[in-house]
Copies of this chain bind each other. A is one copy, B any other.
Amino acid sequence: MREIFEAELKQVGDDLVEMSTLVVQAIDKAGRALLGANLALAQEVIVADQAIDSIEQDLDERCVLLLAQQAPVATDLRVVVSALRMSATLERMGDLARHIAEIARGRYPSPATPALRDTFEAMHEAATRAARRVEHVLTTHELEGAEEIERDDQVLDDLHQGTFAAMLGGTWEAGPQETVDVTLLSRYYERFGDHAVSIAHRVTFLVTGEFVNAAHSEPESGSND
């Protein structure tokens, strides 16, 4: 039984890594589509999101079967429950990349955020870096990566606050379309960072057994107000 369990658990872990690899590609392409007003790249992200959703469904089904057939307890059980949570988080990271690509597509052939291009370049870099670290942490279970993800998230939070400061500082001259786009894009990036941290905390918990307040690192909490 133990060997079967280990093999099935490995497959769950492989699925999570595969999802994270697709999320890296999605957020990288979405950002490049946004910054380069690249319609083809945006389309790729939108189409590829279905693959992420599909792995999530397979992974969830696999976890349910694993619970049913192996009835894991203690740490093993927590690994399976965490995998269910992390697959949902990765699926949402894919959705956020798709939303960014959808805005890039909607403004094509114009760039979506000419007034804050530098800010969104920095957001793109921090989000892509965080996604790569999520992939690395899920692959290796090395915890240094988890701490670095927190720093990427802090960068995203600061940039997010910066977009609001820019829009509300009294000198903002862009029209409503760009204001709407900046508001949504900034929020998507900020939440992408929250999700990355959520995964970092869950992996840390699985490795160390110590819960780094993962509930409060969930998406939505602590975001803009």
Contacts and interface: CB of A to CB of B under 8 A. Distances in A.
Interface of A: 53, 56-57, 63-64, 67-68, 71, 73-74, 77-78, 81, 84-85, 88, 91-92, 95-96, 99, 102-103, 105-106, 164, 167-168, 172, 176-177, 179-180, 183-184, 187, 215-216, 218-221, 223-225
**How many protomers of this protein does the assembly include?**
2
A177 B168 contact: yes
Contact of A220 (B92, B103, B168, B177): B92
**Chief secondary structure at chain A's binding surface:** helix
A224 B96 CA distance: 11
Given A77-B64, A78-B64, A103 B225 contact: yes
B220 A95 contact: yes
B102 A225 contact: yes
Contact of A84 (B81, B180, B220): B81
A183 B179 CA distance: 9
Contact of A77 (B53, B67, B78): B67
A225 B112 CA distance: 13
23 contacts: A53-B215, A64-B81, A67-B67, A68-B73, A71-B71, A81-B84, A85-B88, A88-B88, A88-B218, A92-B219, A92-B220, A95-B220, A95-B221, A99-B224, A99-B225, A102-B225, A103-B225, A105-B225, A167-B176, A172-B176, A179-B180, A179-B183, A180-B183
